[in-house]
Amino acid sequence: MKALLDKHPILPPPALPVDLLSEPPLVVDVESVLGCIKSFPKGTSCGRDGLRAQHILDALCGEGSAIAVGLLKAITEVVNLWLGGRCLVALAEFVASAPLTPLLKPDNGIRPIAVGAIWRRLVSKVAMKSVGNEMAKYLGDCQFGVGIPCGAEAVLYSANRFLNMFHSDGSLALLTVDFSNAFNLVDRTTLLQEVRARCPSISL
């Protein structure tokens, strides 16, 4: 338990941006929401509420198709409500938190795996789809995490190819850097400020 607590230090909540939005909040249509629902990998895990993306798809297809139009419209309205920063405060701790599953690493350390609620993940997918290409251009060609399909695989493939091409070069060295607990120690106040500045339509 101590190892998990050390991975998740208790910090004060981040400061929210106070400057005015330079553009209105993102509003999406039912097609965008349906596309993002379908984009979840098959068998994707559920959060603590037990709801999976497949449950939503099942409700929108087959025997549930009679109510599909109304249900999809209602889901889209909720997504737009949250994109506009109007998620109920009472729901915040349930929406923004996730149960942890500790996995044992080869060095006997702990790797906590968090699986959040499908609703938050759906809203995140919709928001990312709207700004992903623009942010990938802004971040440049030296990152493989935002708007780059199979980015991690591309890094590994390129590194292996480079090593194979120059394996006989005795002066060649490859340095890998692993930041300790990077996700939980990131400055979220700065992150929120950057989102407000670079993609204000999803910053509420």
Q: What is the pTM of this model?
A: 0.84
Counted domains in the chain: 1
64 pLDDT band, cuts 50/70/90, is low
121 pLDDT band, cuts 50/70/90, is very high
181 pLDDT band, cuts 50/70/90, is low
State the SS3 of the chain.
CHHHHHHCCCCCCCCCCCCCCCCCCCCCCHHHHHHHHHCCCCCCCCCCCCCCHHHHHHHHCHHHHHHHHHHHHHHHHHHHHHHCCCCCHHHHHHHCCCCEEEEECCCCCEEEEECCCHHHHHHHHHHHHHHHHHHHHHHCCCCCCCCCCCHHHHHHHHHHHHHHHCCCCCCCCCCCCCCCCHHHHCCHHHHHHHHHHHCHHHCC
* Tokens 């991690």 found at: 152
Q: What is the domain extent for residue 129?
A: 2-202
Q: How many CB atoms lie within 10 A of CB 84?
A: 14
194 pLDDT band, cuts 50/70/90, is very high
The predicted structure's pLDDT at residue 63: 67
For the chain, the C-alpha Rg in angstroms (whole number) is 20
Q: What is the pLDDT of residues 10-56, one digit of tens each?
A: 788 889 888 888 899 999 999 999 999 999 998 899 988 999 999 99
95: CB partners within 8 A, 6+ apart: 87, 117, 119, 120
